[in-house]
Structures are given as structure tokens and as C-alpha cells.
Amino acid sequence: MTQDLFAEATEQLDEGAWLLRGLATSQAAALVDAIGGVTRISPFRHLITPGGFRMSVAMTNCGSFGWVSDRRGYRYDPIDPESGQPWPAMPKLFLNLATEAAAAAGYGRFDADVCLINRYEPGTRLTLHQDRDEGDFAHPIVSISLGLPATFLWGGLARGDRVRRYPLHHGDVVVWGGPSRLRYHGIAPLKDGHHPLTGNIRLNLTFRRAQ
């Protein structure tokens, strides 16, 4: 059997969390191209946490808002603080894919106003955290993985809860909502490798409704 037979298989990771394996694979090259268009206007940067640490993940955004962190805290900002300009518009391709994925997981009418773009190099990690800067947790989050694979860390509603590990591959799309929306999660340090489309990089798009 070939992988293609499973290209659009849907797996339930948890209550409200659905893995749509390979849903973005056929559009991966166009997605990477569009990321290049965003980063020409708002380049990847390493944000500083409120505690003063430089994040190892490099980030940028597109859409009506962008997620930013600095010494003052975390927030969604309509202006890129580095350019002083609005974030680049969300490409139609991004929005269509996010809406389609949310609908496939049972979340109708998801209208993302932010796409946070994360860039991982070998060794980059994202420590366990909750995403709780959004206005209404009834909206799900949609994530698309591109390039090198990663180990997704999936915890509970308290930081100390047991953590499960799931591999995320190029083209995988995950929709997180309902009882899974406020779970702790993270990414284990990225292993070295080579991907034909991205080289030694993993890219992750997370679509959110900030307001």
C-alpha cells in the first residue's frame, strides 16, 4: 500500500483534536512560496519573552493581527512592531485551507484573522505552553506542518499533567478545539535532517481567531 491511500485519513488525537494527515501535501510548494512573500515584508524574528529570554523559534505573522511577545507581555497586535506597518495580508490559499480543515473536523465557519508562522532549525524547541491570548476559546486553532518532521508534545490542562508524543510530518494538518483548546502543548527539539522543499527547516502555520 502506498502513503497516498492514507493521504486524507482523519485521526482523532483527543476530544476536539483531529489530525488530517497529508491534507496540505499537494499545496505545500505553494504554501512555502506564499510564506516567502510574507517574510519579504515581515521577516522572521526571534521574539523576547516577558521574562527576557530569546525564543529559539523564529516567528512572523500575516492577517489582520499578529502574535507578538516582548518585555511588556504577549498580545495580538495589528501592527508589526519591527516594520511599523500592518502585517502582510493573509494569502487566500492560507485562508481557504484553514477553513476547509476546520470544517473537516466539524468546526464550521472558522474565519481566521491571524496566521502565526513558526520556523524551526535543528535544535529549536517550543516549551510546554497554553494558547490563551485569543478573545474566544470557542474558536479552534488550525496548524499546518511543512518540511522536517517534529515531535508534538501533548499535555493536559495543568502544566504537570502527563505528556504524550505525536510525530507531525510534512503536509499534516491538525485542528484543535473544544475540550482540547486549552491543553498544554509544545515541540521537542528538532532533529537534524533534510527535506526536499525546505532543506533543514520545519515551518508551522497556526491559524487563529484573535478577536
Task: Compute the least distance from the CB of residue 130 to Fe ion, in Å.
Answer: 7
Nearer to Fe ion, 80 or 134 (CB): 134
Long-range contacts of 188-191 (CB under 8 A, 24+ apart): 188/125, 188/150, 188/151, 188/153, 189/123, 189/124, 189/125, 190/120, 190/121, 190/122, 190/123, 190/124, 190/125, 190/148, 190/150, 191/122, 191/148, 191/149
If one asks whether residue 80 binds Fe ion (CB under 5 A), the answer comes out as no
Among 207, 175, 170, 140, residue whose Cα is nearest residue 32: 170
Nearer to ligand MD3, 84 or 210 (CB): 210
Choose among Fe ion, ligand MD3, none what residue 198 binds, the Cβ cut-off being 5 to 8 Å by kind.
none
Nearer to Fe ion, 113 or 131 (CB): 131
Q: Which of 23, 27, 65, 131 binds Fe ion (CB under 5 A)?
A: 131
Nearer to ligand MD3, 101 or 174 (CB): 174
Helix (H, G, I), strand (E, B) or coil at 101: helix
Residues that bind ligand MD3 (CB under 6 A): 116, 118, 126, 131, 141, 143, 174, 176, 180-181, 183, 185, 187, 204, 206
Note whether 190 and 150 are within 8 A (CB). Answer: yes
- What does each C-alpha distance from 73 to 15, 16, 35, 82 come to in angstroms? 30, 29, 26, 16
How many residues bind to Fe ion according to rule CB under 5 A?
Answer: 1
Task: Compute the least distance from the CB of residue 44 to ligand MD3, in Å.
Answer: 13
Task: Compute the least distance from the CB of residue 185 to Fe ion, in Å.
Answer: 6
If one asks whether residue 134 binds Fe ion (CB under 5 A), the answer comes out as no
Q: Which residues contact Fe ion by CB under 5 A?
A: 131
